[in-house]
A and B are shown apart, each in its own frame.
Chain A
Amino acid sequence: MNVKEVTTLIKDHVDEIKVANDKCLFATTDKQRYREAMLALKAQDVQHIFTITGVDQGKTVEIIYHFDCRPAVLNLKISLPKNELRIPTITDIFPGAILYERELMEMFGVKVEGHPDPRRLFLPDDWPDGEYPLRKEWREKAK
């Protein structure tokens, strides 16, 4: 799907679409609608998820799902407030996301609900609970 086709497909499930170039677009959605958008993508044979990025935006943590829509790349963003960092897993729709969700959990403290294997991925076993190294608070503390 090209950028135009992706826009038409997901426009009911997202708030704002920003087209970065002819092969890349960013879209913002919320916890209520993101699964509908993903199921719509899956129905169009989108199977490849590049990765999941977490970004600390101060009061919120932004989660970005990067999908390969061949040739377009869709970056689907969801903002979660820091006092409510929970999101259901997407591994039932995209099994390839299993490691990326584990990384999101240990680095940002986002609780991915229903994840089949919620262990740590990169951090050591004796890493203290409640310390999330890619959060801004952690950076301030470690200075």
Chain B
Amino acid sequence: MTFIVPIGPQHPALKEPEFFKFEIKGEEIVDIDIRFGYVHRGIEEALQRRDYKHDVYLIERICGICNVVHTTNYCQAIEQLAGVEPPERAKYIRVIILELERIHSHLLWLGIAAHQIGFNTLFMLAWRDRERVMDLRELISGNRVTSATNTIGGVRRDVKTEQVPTILRGLDALERSTKYYIDLFNSDRTILARCTNVGILTKDDARKLCAVGPLARASGVDTDIRRDHPYAIYDKLSFNVITEREGDVWAKSIVRLREILESIQIVRQAVKKMPIGPIRIKVDLNIPRNEAIERTEAPRGELFYYALSNGTDRPERVHVRTPTCANVASIKRMFLGGTVAEIPIVIWSIDPCFACNDRVSLVDSHTGKTFNLSLKELRKWRH
């Protein structure tokens, strides 16, 4: 007989509301079901009711951690619809902020991953270093988290020459500590014991189930939108796409850590090569009927937008597909055959950024079958 272990929607191991239902036999996980929608806010519908400019602010609030990549993707899609190109300097500034966001997102991930395996010292260290990136982001955009930098046709704030030495100093400190974390992941006994051969996703499954980002790269799928479909000025910068073959939690961690080093190199190149010039152009936002798709590489993987204009100042349709949505299909494969103790770190290894909804689950003690109750049915039970 199997047992159900519900994790979520509110649970200490989860940082956002989502619901995982694990079916276990002894210690072994035999099935898993996931429910979303807990923080579904209907943004796609709301986008159609607002104009293009207003939508930038709404898009920025889809995700706190990766707000810049969402606005970059949206602005690039709308620029494509309108047939305009932002100025060169604006593209450089976008790349600088995007890469700082990737560093901050990966360090945030590292901290929580360390916390999930009970390594709280590393959690403190990683979040201390994350503060350095937050300071740099604040220096450039005026905000720690929601940068409000992007706009249709360019960016709203310039990177000043006198800020460059501070940025470079911050990057040096980050590089030193990231190298230390990579050493740690290669040598520390606790980390190796908790992360190797755990939550494995094979290359075949990763491709078949359309996994994206660090999750796919850790399974040996060589994919990165920044290289395969360069946007902004990624085609003028040199960087490596990090891949590992193992597909376990350790590989996912090392991919993210090594990506921080690549991001540091990208920012260094960008501040050096940045040309002088305007940072935004005016765009006529009564865009004739047109359609466009746009892809960017978010910290969690490929972000995809479809936009359709209709001749007015409001979009007819904007569809957003976030990287976590693409990676959820792979979760099941990573858990099956694993143990209960692995659950927190394996959930966190995809760096989830999503939510869910569920009512009440009842388990029939004779058959072990589970039923879900809707709110209507639940109300009946109350009386």
Contact = CB atoms under 8 A, between A and B. Distances in A.
- Chain A: interface secondary structure? mixed
Contact of B306 (A23, A47, A53, A120): A53
B356 to A, nearest CB: 9
Interface in B193-226: 207-210
B293 A71 contact: no
Given A51-B304, A139-B48, A96 B210 contact: yes
Nearest to A56: B317
B166 interface: no
B108 to A, nearest CB: 25
A47 B208 contact: yes
A55 B36 contact: no
A130 interface: no
Interface stretch (A4-12, A30-38, A78-86, A121-129): A121-129
Contacts, number: 87
B164 interface: no
A71 B51 CA distance: 32
B329 A96 contact: yes
Given A64-B306, A125-B359, A126-B374, A99 B228 contact: no
B48 to A, nearest CB: 7
Interface string A83-125: 0000000000011111110000001000000000000111111
B40 A123 contact: yes
B308 interface: yes
A96 B211 CA distance: 8
Interface residues of A, number: 37
A126 B40 contact: no
A123 B41 CA distance: 9
Interface residues of B, number: 37
Contacts of B319: 51, 53-54
A127 B358 CA distance: 12
Interface in B337-383: 357-359, 372, 374-376
B37 A99 contact: no
B293 A122 contact: no
Contacts of A66: 293, 304, 306
Interface string B8-50: 0000000000000000000000000000110010101100110
Given A51-B321, A71-B229, A125-B374, 17 more contacts: A50-B295, A51-B306, A51-B325, A53-B317, A54-B319, A66-B293, A66-B304, A95-B209, A96-B209, A96-B210, A97-B210, A100-B321, A123-B40, A124-B37, A134-B45, A139-B45, A139-B49
Contact of B317 (A55, A71, A120): A55
Contacts of A24: 293
Contact of A47 (B37, B210, B316, B317): B210
Contact of A70 (B210, B228, B302): B228
Contacts of B302: 50
A50 B37 contact: no
A73 interface: yes
A96 B208 contact: yes
Given A71-B229, A96-B209, A99-B325, A55 B37 contact: no
B334 to A, nearest CB: 15
Nearest to A48: B210
A29 interface: no
A83 to B, nearest CB: 21
B128 to A, nearest CB: 36
